[in-house]
């Protein structure tokens, strides 16, 4: 018989009949009940296995995921951009019975001509997760057996490229020339605090303690709120925006930041510079100031300290000095 339970704001349907057990999760109770009836009817009809819906195409699976799951995630705006780009591919609209591993292989080849291996791995892993979700949670058929035959490229992590004093000056000169007034303070805060773009855009003025000079990051990628000190040009940028009668610190969308950043880096003569590189630079500067790995992790929000080791370029001379031993080059 079927049972419907409400868990974490969703409805989980379970069917036990004829030695068969199936479960699925839905946002609406009516959908859970309808699915349970379909499964029970299929089992009673003697088909030997529960009802499995056959979507017309991979695009149907992606569209449902976009509508029901993506909005519940942090960073949903970025995921929406990625999935809408995938939906522009002709092959995802083919009937599932015409989809084969060659389509995924061709997609891999085409994407690697445009993006880095690490970017492709993230986007392809999202596609695989969507197909697994469709099978496990919705009882939908998917082409995951074809998709998993593709070998993901090695995502070799490139060395951290530092932003020089001259580059930083070019960045701010270009930012001051943009029509959008929020890019300059956004960049100033990013390069001094190391906050991610999504974390910056979720900040409210109520999160800023003007007396203690720190910001409470509520919408952290890790899901763990943290306090981040504000100083230097970052603090100056906040002071320049205060007082304000608006709630959100930076009333600008992620897409608007992306478009303005593209214009900025061209004007600055830094076409390969990413907004995320501001975070890399801030973290590198934290280590230059003598902060320890745990201290930097508490600011950056890294949950695994080993992720910070590539920023900590140890200087044997400074280590020797701090230990009280003279350093001599051999």
pLDDT (tens digit, 9 = 90+) per residue, 249-272?
999 998 899 999 999 999 999 998
Taking only Cα atoms into account, the Rg of the chain, rounded to an integer number of angstroms, comes to 25
Residue 320 lies in a domain: no
Residue span of the structural domain in which 179 resides: 165-312
Indicate if 283 and 212 belong to the same structural domain. Answer: yes
Residue 240 falls inside a structural domain = yes
- DSSP string for 107-130: HHHHHHTTS-HHHHHHHHHHHHHH
Q: Is residue 81 part of a domain?
A: yes
Distance CA 60, CA 42 (A): 23
Share above pLDDT 70 across residues of the chain, in percent, rounded to a whole number: 87
- pLDDT band at 35; cut points 50, 70, 90: confident
Q: How many domains does one find in the chain?
A: 3
Q: Where are the alpha helices (DSSP H) in the chain?
A: 29-44, 58-68, 76-86, 101-112, 117-137, 144-147, 165-176, 183-193, 197-201, 232-241, 254-267, 276-288, 293-300, 316-322
| In-domain check, residue 159 | no
Tell me the H-state helices in 87-182: 101-112, 117-137, 144-147, 165-176
pLDDT band at 311 (very low <50, low <70, confident <90, very high): confident
Contacts of 44 (CB under 8 A, 6+ apart): 17, 18
* Confidence grade of residue 314 (pLDDT, cut at 50, 70, 90): very low
Q: Are residues 258 and 193 in the same domain?
A: yes
Query: Do residue 280 and residue 171 come from a single domain?
Result: yes
Same domain, 273 and 209: yes
Identify whether residues 233 and 302 lie together within a single domain: yes
Instruction: Judge if 304 and 172 occupy the same domain.
Output: yes
Tell me whether residue 7 is in a domain: yes
Q: What is the mean pLDDT of residues 290-319?
A: 77
* Residue 126 confidence (pLDDT): 95
Give the residue with greater pLDDT, 96 vs 166.
166
**Residue 68 and residue 129 share a domain:** yes
Q: Token pair for residue 149?
A: 């035959």
Structure tokens at 45: 């009809």
Distance CA 224, CA 218 (A): 8
Angle at 250 (CA atoms; ends 248, 256), nearest 5 degrees: 130
* CATH code at position 190: 1.10.443.10
The pLDDT value recorded for residue 235 is 96
- Does residue 227 form part of some domain? yes
- Residue 315 has what pLDDT? 47
Q: In this structure, are 79 and 29 located in the same domain?
A: no
Q: What is the pLDDT of residue 59?
A: 94
307 or 64, which is more confident? 64
Q: Which residue has the higher pLDDT, 2 or 125?
A: 125
Please determine, for residue 179, whether its predicted confidence score (pLDDT) is greater than 90: yes
Judgement on whether residues 107 and 175 belong to the same structural domain of the protein: no
Distance CA 139, CA 151 (A): 26
For the segment 228-252, what is each residue's pLDDT rounded down to a tens digit?
999 999 999 999 999 889 999 999 9
Domain identity same for 130 and 196:
no
* Residue 53 domain-assigned (yes or no): no
Q: Please, which pLDDT band fits residue 182 given cuts at 50, 70 and 90?
A: very high
Q: Which of 282, 265, 266 is nearest to 274 (CA)?
A: 265
On the question of pLDDT at 86 being above 90, the answer is yes
Q: What is the pLDDT of residues 61-78, one digit of tens each?
A: 999 999 999 998 877 888
- pLDDT tens digits for range 198-219: 999 999 999 999 999 999 999 8
H or E element in which residue 13 lies: strand 10-17
Q: What are phi and psi for residue 185, nearest 5 degrees?
A: -65, -30
The predicted structure's pLDDT at residue 87: 95
Question: Do residues 320 and 329 touch, judged by C-beta distance below 8 A?
Answer: no
Asked whether residue 215 falls in the same domain as residue 287, the answer is yes
**Of 186-190, 289-293, 298-302, 307-311, which gets the smallest average pLDDT?**
307-311
Cα of 200 vs its chain's centroid, Å: 14
Confidence of residue 28 (pLDDT cuts 50, 70, 90): confident
CA gap 62, 115 in Å, rounded: 21
Question: 126 to each of 65, 120, 184, 243, 317, how far by Cα in Å?
Answer: 11, 10, 33, 41, 44
- Residue 202 domain-assigned (yes or no): yes
What integer pLDDT is reported at residue 285 of this predicted model?
92
Residues 170 and 305 in one domain: yes
């Amino acid at each position: 018989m079927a049972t419907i339970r409400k868990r974490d704001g969703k409805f989980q349907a379970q069917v036990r009949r004829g030695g068969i057990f199936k479960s699925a999760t839905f946002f609406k109770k009516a959908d859970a009940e309808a699915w349970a009836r379909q499964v029970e009817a299929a089992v009673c009809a003697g088909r030997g296995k529960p009802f499995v819906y056959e979507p017309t195409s991979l695009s149907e699976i992606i569209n449902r995921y976009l509508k029901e799951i993506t909005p519940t995630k942090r960073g949903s705006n970025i995921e929406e951009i990625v999935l809408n780009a995938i939906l522009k591919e002709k092959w995802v609209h083919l009937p599932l019975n015409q989809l084969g591993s060659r389509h995924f292989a061709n997609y891999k080849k085409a994407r690697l001509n445009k993006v880095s291996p690490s970017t492709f791995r993230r986007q392809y892993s999202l596609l695989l997760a969507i197909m697994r979700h469709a099978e496990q949670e919705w009882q939908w058929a998917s082409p995951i057996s074809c998709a998993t035959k593709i070998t993901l490229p090695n995502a070799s992590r490139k060395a951290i490229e530092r932003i020089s004093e001259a580059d930083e000056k070019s960045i701010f000169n270009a930012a001051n020339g943009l029509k959008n007034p929020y890019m300059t303070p956004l960049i100033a805060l990013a390069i001094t605090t190391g906050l991610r773009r999504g974390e910056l855009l979720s900040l409210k003025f109520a999160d800023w303690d003007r007396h203690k000079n720190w910001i409470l990051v509520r919408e952290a990628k890790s899901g763990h709120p943290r306090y981040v000190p504000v100083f230097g040009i970052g603090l100056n940028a906040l002071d320049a925006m205060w007082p304000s009668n608006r709630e959100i610190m930076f009333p600008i969308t992620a897409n608007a930041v992306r478009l303005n950043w593209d214009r900025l880096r061209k004007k600055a003569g830094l076409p390969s510079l990413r907004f995320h590189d501001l975070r890399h630079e801030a973290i590198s500067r934290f280590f230059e100031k003598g902060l320890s790995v745990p201290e930097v992790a508490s600011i950056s929000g890294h949950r695994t300290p080993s992720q910070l080791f590539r920023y900590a370029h140890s200087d044997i001379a400074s280590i020797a000095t701090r230990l009280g031993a003279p350093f001599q080059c051999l």
